[in-house]
């Protein structure tokens, strides 16, 4: 996964943020955040943000994310 996509995942999707909130946090436009989120979902084979949140939660249980 590309560094920006990993950063997007770590800074918003798992926290339950909207694409707009993710964009504000990363200082990018929502139009830029939208495809990043879709790319992450597709790359992971997920259909929903809640699946990403569950995966990140499981990873946090195994080892802390930097």
The domain spanning residue 47 has which CATH number? 1.10.10.10
Domain that holds residue 56: 3-61
- Structural domain contains residue 66: no
Q: What is the pLDDT of residues 13-64, one digit of tens each?
A: 878 899 999 999 888 999 999 998 898 899 889 999 888 888 877 877 766 5
**pTM score, whole prediction:** 0.67
Task: Identify whether the C-beta of residue 39 lies closer than 8 Å to the C-beta of residue 1.
Answer: no
Number of domain units in the chain: 1
- Structural domain contains residue 34: yes
| Cα-Cα-Cα-Cα dihedral sign, residues 21, 25, 27, 28 | negative
Tokens encoding 27: 């200082």
- Structural domain contains residue 25: yes
- Structural domain contains residue 49: yes
Supply the DSSP symbol for 63.
Answer: S
Alpha-carbon gap, residue 58 to 66, rounded angstroms: 15
- Structural domain contains residue 35: yes
């Amino acid at each position: 996964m590309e560094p920006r996509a990993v950063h997007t995942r770590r800074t918003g999707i798992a926290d339950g943020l909207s694409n707009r909130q993710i964009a504000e946090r990363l200082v990018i436009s929502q139009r830029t955040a939208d495809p990043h989120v879709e790319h992450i979902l597709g790359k992971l084979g997920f259909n929903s943000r809640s699946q990403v949140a569950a995966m990140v939660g499981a990873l946090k249980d195994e080892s802390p994310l930097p």
